[in-house]
Every structure is written in C-alpha cells, then in structure tokens.
C-alpha cells in the first residue's frame, strides 16, 4: 500500500467530503474567488467544513441521553480595510457558492480597469500533529456505554459518601478546507474526544461536588483503566475535600496557584489581552507595549498550536496558515501579539496561525490555541512553604475578565488556607480578584512543575466557542485580593 504525504492526504479527504459529492472541483473555487476579486478587496477566502459529532451521558446508572449530528457548509468572506463581508450556506453547490461570492464582493466598489485575478494555486504548509482518524468509529456504542458504567462503578466504590455520579463522552470528526485569494489551498482533519465525570458527595446533610476528565485529538483508546482511574480520583477527591472546607478568608494576601488547569487564569486575564484585534483597536491593557516589561523577570508566556494531540492544537488554522509556537512574553518583556490575517495585515506583521472560527457560519478572529507559562527553578513544595499566611488555590472554576482594564474575578473550586508554610485546611467560596497586567508583575516564585491541563478547555469570544489548552507551573503571586465568605 502506498501512502500519501499527510498534507496531501488531508486535502484528498477534504475534497472527497466537501467538493466531489457536490460536483465541485478546484476550478469552481477559483471562479468563486474571481467573482469576489472582480471588486477591489484586500483579502478573500472560502471555508468549507464537514463535522460529525456524537455524545453520550450517564446519570444514576442510566444512559440518559445519546446524540449524533452531521453539519456541513461553506463560509465566504471578503475583507476591505477593516471591513468584513461574510455569507454562509449549508448548501454546498456551485450556485450557492457563486451567489455568496457576489454578495460579499459588494463590500467594495467595482474595480476600474482591473481584471479579476486569483493567484496561482499553492498547497499550504501544514503540520502533522495528530492522527486523522474518526474518533466516533474508534469504539462501538456498546463499549462507550460500558465505559461510562465503569466510571460510575469506580466512583461509587471510592467512598460511601458518593451519592451521585454523572459521566459523559463526547467525540467529533471535523474536516475543513480553506481556499484563499492568494492561491493558498489548505485542509485539516481534526479528531476530538472528551470524557467528563462529576460526583456529588454528602456528609451530615452537606453536599459538595467535584469533577474530573480530559481529552484531546485522538481516539477513545486513550481512555484506558489508568486514565479513567485518574479522572475519577480527581473528581472524588475534590468532592470529599470540599466536604471539609471552611469559609474562605478575605483580604489582600499571598496566593499560590497550582500547576495545570489554574492556567485558565493566565488564559483569561492575560491571553485575551494579547489578541491582535484588541491591541490594534487600542482597547487592551497591553496595546502599544511591545518591547516593554509587562511581567516579573522569569515570566515567559507562549501560545503554542504545535503540541501533538492537544485539544487546542491545529495543523493549520481556519485561514489556512500553519500553526506556530509564539512567544508572547519572554522573561517579562512583551514580544508579540496573537494574530489572524486581517489584524496582522492592518498592524504590518505576519499572521501567527491563530485565525480561528467556531464553524463555517462564523468569521475568523485571533484566538488562542494552547496558552501556558514556562516553568522556573523552584520545587512546588518550596513555593507553598514560602507562604506565611495565604491561600493555595489548586483548582479553578469559572471567571470573568475585562479586556480593556485587565481586571478579573475567578472562583477557586479547590483551595487551602496556609500558615507558616503548612496547609491547614480546605476553604470554600474563595474568589481571586485582580488585574492581569498587575498580576504578572507580582509573580515572585515560579515552580519547576509546568503542566498542561488534561484537555478540557473551551474558550468563548464574541459568541464563538473553540477548544483550547492552558497550562502553568506552581506560581506564587504576592498581594492578590481574595474575596471570601468568612
């Protein structure tokens, strides 16, 4: 058997799903782009997508829901200056494609003495970060239901105080193809799976919950016995810990953030502020500060879409640009922003592989992939032991951030009160309040235990959701405000 180069293989899969069944080929794409460029535009692209998704959920020992869906369509975009015209259709046909092309080209006046011309076609560079398998087909339905049953039995066997278990499996097979005005033709085949478990524990009339789970761009075989044990243990331990939690203290204090998922604070409070659109418009707290110190020495933050099998990784972004490992902050100095094609052009820089969209029915914008802080040289136990009086937040729930000011509020789902370097007891109801830019300057100790999250992140921006990853080492931040219940 002769195998094709991965980039060409992905392109062949995309053409087989998105063009050939509808009587289309590359000449039709060229014609549609030529229709758009009959008017003077700065950029134009066609975005085809086929998505098959499945979900299962179990509660009270019973599979309560099972879902399966298929969606497909094409988005057509023209860009002139800062203006974007966009049309989409779930009907993939020559007529729909040309109709959308003529609609979006009205963003600009007809070009004078200018022939429509689309650049010679070129296959975009891409990476090979994950298998192109269909995760839905990687395990049959019976085995998926049995897997959820194993999760529930394992959780209930952990402790008699576990009174309720909820578990779910989600999988997606996503195929995309991009054709750009500059002749670029790109495709990606993106598998995605996730296993989630939530438990409720009860003791003396008090009920608390805990959750665990993970996933990435692979098949269901990833969820072996060891991985299921890890997720269930995380959920059960969190619930049982919270049963013993006392009201959280309030005030300004030293806070140590745990490694891994607590990087969600970095994502929200810092990452969004480094996206190109906010900085081009001057609405970010980081606008105009390239080359300036924005964080303490030792703080290096990256957005990296090139990590194998990760939930936030991409072979190519949704504009056909190859994903990159972008250094945003290096040793405390702001180095770059996250860019899509339009904002990069308007700011006079190159795209960074961060043009992302939720689906063919949405316009792309600069979005994070896997955003994390590099580790330092301190043992994590040493970081915790450095606290005289303060909070150790090992896990986070939800949060909010104001991009313009950088101010954020986050709730800690697992946290502990620390005195004289020793963990005293778990606390409940702690919220971390601060400013992203100021928070970075207050980092005083950085652990050597940088860890990425288990693969559960979804980022929302302007009504669009995309899968992302976060990560960080154990961090000590001095002088953060903690809102508590005590």
d(CA 171, CA 200): 25
d(CA 256, CA 386): 9
**pLDDT value for 114:** 52
d(CA 165, CA 61): 8
d(CA 122, CA 7): 12
Q: Considering only CA atoms, which of 479, 415, 482 is closest in space to residue 254?
A: 479
Contacts of 266 (CB under 8 A, 6+ apart): 301, 371, 372, 373, 470, 472
Could you give the C-alpha distances from 371 to 50, 271, 334, 340, 450, in angstroms and in order? 27, 7, 15, 16, 12
**pLDDT value for 111:** 61
CB 390 within 8 A of CB 247: no
CB 172 within 8 A of CB 187: no
- H-type alpha helices, 421-460: 436-441
d(CA 417, CA 423): 6
What angle, 0 to 180 degrees and rounded to 10, lies between the N-to-C axes of helices 225-243 and 141-158? 40
Count of C-beta atoms within a 10 Å radius of residue 157: 11
d(CA 360, CA 50): 9
Cβ neighbourhood burial of 31 (10 Å; 0-12, 13-18, 19+): middle
20-79 pLDDT per residue, tens: 999 999 999 999 999 999 999 999 999 999 999 999 999 988 998 999 999 999 999 999
191-235 pLDDT per residue, tens: 999 999 999 999 999 999 999 999 999 999 999 999 999 999 999
CB 74 within 8 A of CB 48: yes
Low-confidence ranges of the chain (pLDDT < 50): 1, 113, 115-116
Q: Tokens in use for 325?
A: 């490992």
């Amino acid at each position: 058997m002769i195998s094709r180069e991965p980039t060409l293989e992905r392109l062949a899969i995309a053409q087989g799903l998105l063009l050939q069944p509808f009587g289309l080929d590359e000449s039709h794409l060229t014609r549609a782009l030529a229709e758009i460029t009959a008017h003077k535009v700065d950029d134009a692209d066609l975005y085809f997508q086929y998505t098959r998704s499945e979900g299962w959920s179990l509660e009270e020992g019973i599979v309560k829901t099972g879902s399966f869906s298929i969606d497909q369509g094409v988005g057509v975009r023209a860009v002139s200056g800062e203006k974007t015209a966009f049309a989409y259709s779930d009907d993939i046909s020559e007529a729909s494609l040309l109709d959308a092309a003529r609609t979006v080209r009205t963003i600009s006046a007809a070009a004078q003495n200018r022939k429509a011309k689309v650049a010679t076609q070129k296959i975009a560079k891409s990476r090979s970060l994950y298998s192109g398998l269909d995760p839905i087909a990687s395990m049959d339905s019976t085995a998926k239901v049995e897997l959820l049953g194993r999760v529930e039995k394992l959780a209930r066997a952990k402790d008699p105080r576990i009174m309720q278990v909820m578990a779910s499996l989600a999988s997606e097979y996503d195929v995309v193809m991009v054709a750009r005005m500059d002749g670029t033709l790109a495709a990606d085949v993106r598998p995605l799976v996730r296993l989630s478990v939530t438990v409720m524990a009860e003791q003396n009339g008090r009920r608390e919950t805990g959750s665990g789970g993970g996933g990435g761009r692979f098949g269901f075989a990833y969820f072996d016995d060891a991985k299921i044990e890890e997720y269930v243990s995380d959920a059960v331990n969190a619930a049982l810990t919270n049963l013993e939690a006392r009201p959280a203290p309030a005030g300004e204090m030293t806070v140590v953030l745990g490694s891994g998922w607590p990087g969600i604070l970095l994502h929200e409070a810092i990452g969004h502020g480094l996206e190109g659109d906010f900085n081009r418009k001057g609405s970010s707290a980081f606008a105009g500060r390239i080359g300036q110190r924005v964080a303490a020495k030792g703080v290096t933050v990256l957005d990296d879409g090139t990590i194998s099998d990760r939930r936030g990784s991409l072979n190519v972004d949704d504009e056909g640009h190859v994903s990159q490992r972008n250094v945003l902050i290096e040793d405390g100095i702001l180095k770059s922003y996250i860019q899509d094609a339009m904002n990069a052009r308007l700011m006079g820089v190159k795209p960074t592989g961060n043009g992302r969209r939720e689906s063919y029915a949405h316009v792309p914008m600069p979005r994070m992939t896997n955003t994390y802080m590099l580790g330092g040289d301190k043992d994590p136990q040493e970081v915790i032991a450095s606290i005289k009086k303060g909070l150790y937040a090992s896990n986070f729930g939800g949060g909010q951030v104001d991009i313009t000011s950088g101010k954020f509020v986050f709730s800690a789902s697992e946290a502990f009160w620390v005195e004289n370097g020793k963990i005293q007891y778990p606390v409940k109801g702690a919220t971390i309040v601060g400013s992203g830019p100021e928070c970075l300057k207050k980092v005083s100790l950085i652990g050597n235990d940088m860890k990425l999250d288990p693969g559960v992140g979804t980022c929302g921006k302007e009504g669009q959701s995309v899968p992302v990853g976060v990560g960080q080492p154990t961090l000590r931040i001095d002088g953060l405000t903690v809102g508590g219940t005590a």
